[in-house]
Amino acid sequence: MNDTNEQVLTTALHDLHVELGGKMVPFAGYSMPLQYPTGIVKEHLHTRKLASLFDVSHMGQVRLTGDHAAAALESLMPIDIIDLGEMKQRYALLTNEQGGVLDDLMVTNAGDHLFVVVNAACKAQDISLMQEKLADQCDIEVLEDHALLALQGPEARSVLARLAPESAEMLFMTAANLEIDGVDCFVTCSGYSGEDGFEISVANERAEQLARTLLAQPEVEPAGLGARDSLRLEAGLCLYGHDLDAQTTPVESSLMWALSKSRRVDGERAGGYPGADIIMRQISEGVSRKRVGIQPEGRMPVRDGAKLVDAEENEVGIVTSGGFGPSVEKPVAMGYVQTQYATIGSELFAIVRGKKVPVSVAKMPFVEQRYYRGNK
């Protein structure tokens, strides 16, 4: 991916993006739409109000098959995969021997196999790791011939139910095999926007048909990478390579909620994954820095890489994601600070173009997450 002479790949929807006026940019080795003619802000706000369709086919899709697939995959992460119910999905983390995060991914028990979605920039590394560590315990199939579409927004459910009525009652982090407009799809109720929505795995040769059917619905507009990034930032969701990396543990990343109880100290399957001793020690003893939400004062966005300093100008942290939040109409950011400054309301400064911008540690998410968990 780093070879500048490497050919940029395209997804099955590339021609459709161009037809729709998508501004195509290279991203993780693929030509992807940054935005469409309406622009990032309108795409973002449309997703929050109605529904948008995103092409996320650059992500890696992997199928693990075999009686020992769950135990095999669980050996690479501090997550309970063995007891993951059928047609249930779980957020997962691959770790290294230092407890750092190699990637964050989604794992679904699809019944006769595990369906794994990995980040585009980590795809080659993750697949290589699985082939090295798991190939003698399960079959590993990379779904190169499949696209992945994300339908996101408060109207996503009514749109999909119109086309596939069985989707109407799908709960957040569940899955189903659905037929949409005559197309066989594997659908999970999940996404990266903080809104209700679905991710749809479909064979490449049927992807454009499906996309056109979804875009023909009056609520749905196309959206690109720009809106996807601003939506996930408002929702407090991490971007691998920015907010997560191989030098940062799940405890430092404030992802304790993702670490399954059965894999922690005193759990029935405690440890047994790379970096377990370090991670479990951090759970009990604490860490020196933590990921937090950051609220800049005023209207100037604070971008990733900006240093965070205290009143005496001592460097105490760094911003890892930042921009303007169209829904909240103000800048939003997240980053890492020394633990003593991680309390909500802590006042700091971000250094932006040599100037100090007042910021405070803020609660995340910046917008309410509206995942569908059933009628309560």
- pTM of the predicted model, to two decimals? 0.96
pLDDT digits (tens, 9 = 90+) for 315-329: 999 999 999 999 999
Domain ranges of the chain: 14-56+145-234, 288-366
> Architecture of domain 14-56+145-234 in CATH?
2-Layer Sandwich (3.30)
pLDDT at 2: 43
pLDDT at 1: 38
**Residue ranges for the chain with pLDDT beneath 70:** 1-6, 376
**What is the side-by-side order of every strand in the sheet holding 51-55?**
175-180, 183-188, 197-203, 146-152, 51-55, 220-222
Question: Can you name the CATH fold of 288-366?
Answer: Elongation Factor Tu (Ef-tu); domain 3 (2.40.30)
Q: How many residues in the chain?
A: 376
Helix locations, the chain, DSSP H: 14-19, 40-49, 69-74, 123-134, 156-163, 204-215, 225-234, 276-285
CB 108 within 8 A of CB 96: no
For residue 87, the number of C-alpha atoms closer than 13 Å in the C-beta half-sphere is: 11
Q: Provide the total of helices (H) and of strands (E) in the chain, helices listed first.
A: 8, 19
CA distances (Å), origin 286, targets 224, 250, 308: 38, 12, 21
Query: How far is it, in rounded angstroms, from Cα 150 to Cα 155?
Result: 13
Hey, which residues does 30 pair with through a beta bridge? 9, 27
CB 179 within 8 A of CB 186: no
